[in-house]
Amino acid sequence: MRTSIVLSRCCMLGCLLTMPGLRAQPAVPAEPFHDGLRGTTPLDEEAKPPLIFPTENKDVIRGRAYAQQPPTIPHKIDGYQVDKNANRCLSCHARSRAAENDAVPIGVTHYANRAGETLGYVSPRRYFCTQCHVPQADAKPLVSNTFTDIEDIRVAPGPKPPATRKN
């Protein structure tokens, strides 16, 4: 009984959909579908997941894109424990440990609390390092970027800007 009702409803729906004028005309995109993440896989199909790119592990400090940017991590951090019991990052980056590990000591800002007072220990708000510092994948960017630093823009004619150190 129930199946026949369902079947007849399906039939009605089928008739409605095939009636001219009632079927919504799908807009045909002029360009073939392409998405940075999905590639050309249509939306109703599952894309093949790309391989996970290896972490860039060259140990070379990268430039920063702007003055207050948290520097990106130039080494692997796989398996480094950072929780309420231990902070592996600080075993090399704490000011007292940095020299012996040839690491960059954490900046003074990491000792300041939100009231601007400098503490004798890493401020709790700077404890979970990977909130701000991230390693980089050795991957091609998904979207291109044509950003040019103000220092690299030369407006001619006019006085040449003074030479500055590039960071």
Q: How far is the CB of 145 from ligand HEC (least distance, A)?
A: 20
Residue 57 CA, distance from chain mean position: 17
- Per-residue HEC secondary structure of 27-50 comes to CCCCCCCCECCCECCCCCCCCCCC
**From CA 39, how far away is CA 16, in angstroms rounded?**
35
- From residue 83, alpha-carbon distances to 79, 124, 125, 155, 161 in Å are 12, 12, 13, 50, 47
> Does the footprint of ligand HEC cover residue 56 (CB under 6 A)?
no
Q: How far is the CB of 122 from ligand HEC (least distance, A)?
A: 5
Q: How far is the CB of 141 from ligand HEC (least distance, A)?
A: 20
Which of 54/107 has CB closer to ligand HEC?
107
How many residues bind to ligand HEC according to rule CB under 6 A? 35
> Does the footprint of ligand HEC cover residue 136 (CB under 6 A)?
no
Count other Cβ atoms within 10 Å, centred on residue 24: 6
Which of 41/77 has CB closer to ligand HEC?
77
> Does the footprint of ligand HEC cover residue 93 (CB under 6 A)?
yes
Question: Pick from 66, 80, 73: which is nearest to 166 by CA?
Answer: 66
> Does the footprint of ligand HEC cover residue 70 (CB under 6 A)?
yes
Identify whether the C-beta of residue 153 lies closer than 8 Å to the C-beta of residue 147: no
> Does the footprint of ligand HEC cover residue 132 (CB under 6 A)?
yes
Q: What are phi and psi of 45, to 5 degrees?
A: -120, 155
Q: Identify which range of 6-14, 18-26, 36-44, 98-106 contacts ligand HEC by CB under 6 A.
A: 98-106
> Does the footprint of ligand HEC cover residue 103 (CB under 6 A)?
yes
Which positions touch ligand HEC (CB under 6 A)? 59, 61, 68, 70-71, 73-75, 77, 80, 82, 87-93, 101-104, 106-107, 109-110, 122, 126-133
